[in-house]
Amino acid sequence: MIYDFFEKGRKFLGVEYPIICGGMTWISDYKLVKAVSDAGGFPVFAGGNMPPDLFEQEVDQLINGLDKPFAVNLITIAPNYRNHFEIMLTKDVPFVVFAGNFPKKRDVVAMKEAGKKTMSFASTESIADKQINWGIDALILEGSEAGGHIGSVSLTVLLQQVLFNFRDFPIFVAGGIATGQMMAHLLLMGAYGVQMGTIFAMSQECSAHENFKKAFKKARARQAVATPQYDSKLPVVAVRSILNKGMAQFGRLQLELLKKLDAGSITREKAQYEIESYWAGTLRQAVQDGDVQNGSLMAGQSVGLVNEVKPIKEIMKNLIEDAEEELEMLRKEFSKFCK
């Protein structure tokens, strides 16, 4: 039964299961991408702010090592975004996901002209409508429950604002999803598929430090909190992460940068660069070095639903089986009213 509901997403992505493993900087590397692909899912490689030469090497490895469709994540607010963008124009990669902020129309058009399918995020109906008019091939509705850089609207509201108003357009949903039961309900609502991140960060194939995974195991949903923006003079894209010393330090960094802005000793662009550099550095500190006190533990609120490290094939199998069971239960419930 689940395959009937999967059909739209499967056809669009070209994979067995329209379950997207979101691009997570320092986490969604070749090893994780390959494992998700082999298990029938749709992986997204996260280039983050890699040096351009390393980014190109990684993309070439993906092209040569994968025989199923995948995507490369381009972070529009990353300092190396433009370099990554130009490299991608020349590569035989089937999908590009614009993340971090909404892409410019010219970038969507250029990437489509280079033969790629394009995906992006939408946080309101008007933003979704604008990107569809630009020619974006699919949208991802990511609720504020998600980890990493997030919008300010919950998935529950986004479903009503966007999904229900664009029934015939490829829309995938994300944010707080970690069970097959929830996936089944979202497919019934009309989603083409789902994107998950936290559950895949807790896979055996994920190369993140053991301390990072242990922190996820112990965390509760309420401990995955979003960073505030202290002043509109310094626009900050909110980040959801497990509360620790690194989160507190980010608050102090904002205040220091605001003082420099007031004194005229730094430009807003430079201040925003300092913000993004902070997150890139502290995330690496936690993921690769295992410093879970001072590093960034980017996680969605679904971290409270994930407390085991499992192989990706088992994660995928459990998601499908649980979705099947949920759909069967719903079928029996609905049949009572059709007699």
Cα 58 from Cα 29, distance rounded (Å): 8
| Domain span including residue 240 | 219-287
* 66 within domain boundaries: yes
pLDDT for residue 167: 87
> Does residue 250 sit in the same domain as residue 176?
no
Residues 18 and 157 in one domain: yes
Query: Do residues 145 and 175 lie in contact, with contact meaning Cβ atoms separated by under 8 Å?
Result: yes
pLDDT band per the 50, 70, 90 thresholds, residue 1: low
Q: Which residue has the higher pLDDT, 234 or 181?
A: 181
Residue 194's closest CA among 179, 204, 210, 215? Answer: 179
Helices marked H in the chain? 2-13, 30-38, 52-65, 81-89, 105-113, 125-134, 155-161, 180-189, 198-201, 210-218, 245-263, 268-287, 312-335
Same domain, 283 and 141: no
Are 178 and 240 in the same domain?
A: no
Distance, in Å, from the CA atom of 283 to the CA atom of 167, rounded to the nearest integer, reads 37
Q: Tens digit of pLDDT for each residue in 31-89?
A: 999 999 999 999 999 998 899 999 999 999 999 999 999 999 999 988 899 999 999 99
Please give the pLDDT value at position 125.
86
Give pLDDT tens digits for 137-160: 999 999 999 999 888 899 999 999
Residue with tokens 């900087």: 25
pLDDT digits (tens, 9 = 90+) for 121-140: 998 888 899 999 999 999 99
| Domain-embedded: residue 295 | no
Burial of 273 (0-12, 13-18, 19+ CB in 10 A): middle
Asked whether residue 324 is domain-assigned, the answer is yes
**pLDDT higher than 80, residue 2:** no
**Full strand arrangement of the beta sheet holding 148-149:** 148-149, 239-242, 224-226
Determine, yes or no, domain membership for 303.
Answer: no
Residue-level pLDDT at 339: 63
Residue 293 within a domain: no
Question: How many structural domains does the chain have?
Answer: 2
Q: Is residue 16 part of a domain?
A: yes
